[in-house]
Structure 1
């Protein structure tokens, strides 16, 4: 708030007078001695008009009842389902299927105690070599009933001539052109992979598979998985959310009645999961790091998951004064919130709980800090610095008086103290003798809402030595102090109905040589 309010109140001192005096000194006719009264600013604003949307991580919102909220929000990059797919790919680079029986069932290697019903392939190859070691012609047929496309399983068949007894036996093979499995599905109805192979004499006599009968699955990659994926950790992404409310803080206290931190999870991973908070702490204005305490850190929280691919589910966990040390953290004046939120798939390790994963599945977490403008402040001081440049170009001005008048519906006092400095930061002169009560607080009702409007007016004069020092100034350092009623002990509400009117006028004295 101070970033917008202070420049408005002193726009003339910092920049506004320059352009006005430029026009003034360009007048061709000017009396030897004259005084001019000039209106500079007459502005009516509410708090949203002063603050607006500072950047993509901060905005000022209005509740249905008009209450303002400072909103600091950030979303970490999405965490995809790649860790699960990568783990399965790592064991599916090459799977040899040694064929020694006419029918056999083998276990498909899956990580993390996973038990999958369906795997949809987006890449992969099947190669096979089916030799005939017999001195008679044979018919061979290989069927993989658990690998299918359009409901039709993989089947290859052919007739091989008799083996002469020398050299390599004749074989049905596709080693030079493996079958492309993109678009196929692998199904494991009984958690096994079935191979059916027949080698028969031409009269139908069944024979045993010869040595070297083999099929090889290689370079398998998947677009969709369905089943139980094991108790699998998902890595998180750490980030920092800046909270600039206390950025220019000097001293004093401010209390929020109902602050909260929201952790909102968007999830398109179709399995039960639990958020795991690996890191959650605040960095204070004095450099301390204080951990957030509460059940979210100790236990995490479960978040909803979709039942169909392509859908998203949303879960919001609220951290407030009832389940954490949030009020203590705000008392410490935080300037940033550090967080890292991971996930644990199938946290209960229940094999009967099944779901799905697509290669497009992901989850992301948005962390939002909400500071409602319902609370109290006592001598809450902030400081900021503004460039000024009056120089020597207005030599005919021998005295200048600024009158600052405010009509405020806000339930807070605003006092300012200012010091002009040179380019090296050395103090030259004070803005006024002591502090100025620029904005006076209104009385409030039992709900903390102001009951009227209060006016405050002050003159700021520069002449003689003060004006000479002002010409040397390059910066104005402003120290602002905010306070609510009764020494900051009375909670008040700041809403979008409350308006601040600021009027600044100048009285200039001109003496031409």
Structure 2
């Protein structure tokens, strides 16, 4: 990857060109733009090069895989952007489930016997409570596939014909009913009531979620006198509930969104030190929702810097509004909605100023039904395919204030020979800074192979920033009329010249700051830094 502080590299070329053939074509070099501030008379002027660097060129990461790019040019605006998909997902089973149901017993009273059949069995009712797996769930309607299994003990010496129905249930638009014949004098006789396609309503919704069952039939003629004592014992259980659709109030549940971390992999966070504050960073949570339940997101993100510092986002709870509210919405394509954490509802400015160069950790929960549900007018609705998926996108426009940002760049494996021939030397820089950033070359360090500093070339000349508009619609943007050309040289001492022979690496340190009375500057892709660099040296030609 190309370094984000790449605009420092040309300054190094001046030192290298003292004893090496320049890689630039001197015919293309504008000698008239060189400074005349050096008082000694050089006998070698080596034009190192010139360049025009747009800010987008300097910051563009040139990733081979576009998915690895984190800085983007959008229009003319520079934006750090990072996205992670599916950081959180919950489906219908997280909201509503039907665990194994309990078996329930019912003793169906039988009419007096001792007579020939058939003998009518009057209507009897029972209720069965459906377990939903979560406290506080109130059902008003469910569409399910299920099986209702019965086990009968018949104490009579005659078969019993029994009609069993669900008064509030329909299958295919007709009453859900089934007839069974229970043989005489049998125990443990099993029958199954297939409830595939059952649509069941709860006329008076309550947390009991009770289903009504109705029993009616007759004791069949056995060709003689019917005898036996006791009730018809019935044990029954609803099994294998696979809900298709449900209405009701699914309660104030809290669903854990889990924990995870995000590495934005923004390289320049590792390349700079200092204080800076982005003025308008945002974290977007993109939701794809087919769960017809209102909810609030109670989550937090904590950033960690490479140096061990941390800062929490501390967002206000946000409640999405665009959740599905009708059956058509639930069954159609997911509703799309984005909620955004910004400088009005969180501490995101402090978080990004950390910076989170190590990682961002997230955790939290989703609270269902933060407000009271009116089942009659706006019930919760969920289908067996309902789900919510959440993606997170971090957007940081390069609009900021900065103080003493330290940028560091390194050239490795330097080989400078014959420095003993140099009597005097200076690097001459002429620059036209169209960036809204003051740039100071603080030092050029000569190091050995272990990167221990053996000498340092200091230079406190400032390449002045272009001024920005301080009011109006272009506030924070560069005023082109303020761009000026400046020129200065960096003179080398005799000790520094001598140490060139020992240098294996060169490290450049620069300071970058913004001024403008605290007004955040806006970095645009077409801002340009123009420069020319030459090396002026006085050589001992007799050596």
TM-score by length of 2: 0.70
Q: CA deviation at 1:305?
A: 0.8
Structure 1 residues 10 and 317 mapped into 2: Cα distance closer, same or farther (>3 Å)? closer
Deviations 1:339-358 (A, max 9, x none): 32421111124353512223
Shift of 1:4: 4.0
The aligned counterpart of 1:10 is 9
Structure 1 residue 311, shift from structure 2 partner:
1.9
Output the CA distance in 1 between the equivalents of 2:540 and 2:248.
87
1:268 correspondence with 2:264: no
Q: Deviations over 1:365-399 (max 9, x none)?
A: 55555444444333x2224353512347x779967
Residue 188 of structure 1 is matched in structure 2 by 202
* Maintained 8 Å contact 1:14/1:389: no
SS of the residue aligned with 1:103? strand
Given the superposition, is the C-alpha separation of residues 199 and 475 from structure 1 closer, same or farther in structure 2, using an over 3 Å criterion?
farther
Structure 1 equivalent of residue 251 of structure 2: 230
Aligned-partner SS, 2:59: helix
| CA pair 463-208 structure 1, distance change in 2 beyond 3 A | farther
Find the counterpart in structure 1 of residue 220 from structure 2: 202
Could you tell me which residue of structure 2 aligns to residue 427 of structure 1?
A: 453
Larger Cα Rg: Structure 1 or Structure 2?
2
Q: CA RMSD in A?
A: 4.6
The match for 2:71 is 59
- How much has 1:217 moved relative to structure 2? 2.0
1:29 matched to which residue of 2?
Answer: none
Q: 1:170, 1:329 → 2: CA distance?
A: 68
| 1:466–1:114 Cα change, 3 Å | same
In structure 1, what is the equivalent of residue 125 of structure 2?
103
Q: Post-superposition shift, 1:481?
A: 1.0
Partner of 1:480: 510
CA drift of 1:333 comes to 5.2
Q: Which residue of 2 aligns with 1:30?
A: none
Using the TM superposition, give the Cα deviation of residue 413 of structure 1 relative to its aligned residue in structure 2, in angstroms: 1.5
Alignment partner of 1:217 is 2:238: yes
Distance between the aligned counterparts of 1:395 and 1:182, measured in 2?
A: 92
Matched, 1:46 2:55: yes
The answer on whether the counterparts of 2:311 and 2:350 sit within 8 Å (CA) in structure 1 is no
**2:521 match:** 492
Which residue is 1:388 aligned to?
412
Pairwise CA distance, 1:434: 2.4
Contact 2:5 2:58 in 1 (8 A): no
**1:333-412 matched pairs, under 5 angstroms:** 335=357, 337-350=360-373, 352=375, 353-378=378-403, 380-391=404-415, 405-412=430-437
Verify: 1:79 aligned to 2:89, yes or no: yes
Contact 2:51 2:532 in 1 (8 A): yes
CA distance in 2, matches of 1:502, 1:150: 81
Count of residue pairs the alignment pairs up: 476
Task: Tell whether the 8 Å contact from 1:62 to 1:495 is kept in structure 2 after alignment.
Answer: no
CA distance in 2, matches of 1:282, 1:210: 69
| Unaligned runs of at least 5 residues, structure 2 | 24-42, 109-123
Give the distance between the partners of 1:185 and 1:472, measured in 2 at CA: 87
Q: Could you say what secondary structure the match of 1:94 adopts? A: coil
The answer on whether the counterparts of 1:266 and 1:365 sit within 8 Å (CA) in structure 2 is yes
Q: For residues 438-471 of structure 1, what are the alpha-carbon distances to aligned partners after superposition, in whole Å with 9 as ceiling and x for unaligned?
A: x431233443432243334566688987577556
Partner Cα distance (2:198, 2:420) in 1: 87
Unpaired stretches in structure 1, ≥5 consecutive residues: 25-33
Quote the Cα distance in structure 2 between the aligned partners of 1:497 and 1:57.
Answer: 19
Which aligned pairs between 1:447-458 and structure 2 lie closer than 5 A? 447-448=475-476, 449-452=478-481, 453-457=483-487
User: 3-state DSSP class of the match of 1:305?
Assistant: coil
- CA drift of 1:426 comes to 0.7
Q: Distance in 2 between matches of 1:510 and 1:229?
A: 90
Whole-Å separation in 1 of the counterparts to 2:45 and 2:170: 92
Cα distance in 2 for residues equivalent to 1:468 and 1:211: 111
**Hey, what's the Cα distance between the residues in 2 that align with 1:368 and 1:127?**
50
TM-score, length-scaled by structure 1: 0.74
Match of 1:136 in 2: 158
Match of 1:115 among 122, 138, 153: 138
1:127 Cα deviation from its structure 2 partner: 2.7
> Over residues 105-133 of structure 1, what are the superposed CA-to-partner deviations in whole Å (9 max), with x where a residue is unaligned?
333223321112333446x5443334543
SS in 1 for 2:5: helix
Q: Is the 8 A contact 2:297 2:367 kept in 1?
A: yes
Alpha carbons of structure 1 residues 427 and 103: separation in structure 2 relative to 1, 3 Å = same
